[in-house]
A = this chain, B = another copy of it.
Amino acid sequence: MILVEIVTVLALLQYLTFAALVGRARVKCSVKAPATTGHEVFERFYRVQMNTLELLVVFLPAMWLAARYWSPALVSGIGAIYLVGRFMYFRAYTREPSTRSLGFNLSLGPALLLLLAALVGAVLAGLK
């Protein structure tokens, strides 16, 4: 499970980096807490963090459940695609929100695939 653990830590560090960039954008764009709106650029960074949070709560349990039934090397490989997809999503969204689809799909896809793998694994185990 070491590879799955390392992908987990990297996904959390990536997410924390997005969160830190929101903090920086807050200062740069002069959006004073507790507001989360008021400047388009700040809002892009904020949406990247929030959307990553929204996906992370699916991705991590899906990866760990899938790893109960499938090869940890395969599962963490799919997890690595998620990491790359999220990075592309971040780059695209903060530059031009309308171009965020590819990175979005390359990170949602692996999460869905792992969730499906977990479901198939659990159902097959239940039928035994």
Bound form: Cα–Cα A61–B93 in Å: 27
Interface residue total, chain A, C-beta cutoff 8 A: 43
Residues in B neighbouring A3, C-beta threshold 8 A: 126
Taken residue by residue from 73 to 111, chain A's Cβ proximity to chain B (1 for < 8 Å, 0 otherwise) reads as: 000000000000000000001000100100000000000
- Majority-rule SS of A interface residues: helix
* Pairwise interchain contact B61-A8, C-beta atoms closer than 8 A: yes
Is residue A6 contacting chain B, with contact meaning CB distance below 8 A?
A: yes
Selected from B13, B60, B123, the residue in CB contact (under 8 A) with A115 is: B13
Distance in angstroms from A76 CB to nearest chain B CB is 11
* Pairwise interchain contact B8-A112, C-beta atoms closer than 8 A: no
Contacts A/B (CB < 8 Å), 15 sampled: A2-B122, A5-B122, A6-B126, A9-B115, A12-B57, A12-B58, A33-B47, A33-B97, A34-B44, A34-B46, A34-B47, A35-B37, A36-B47, A49-B54, A53-B53
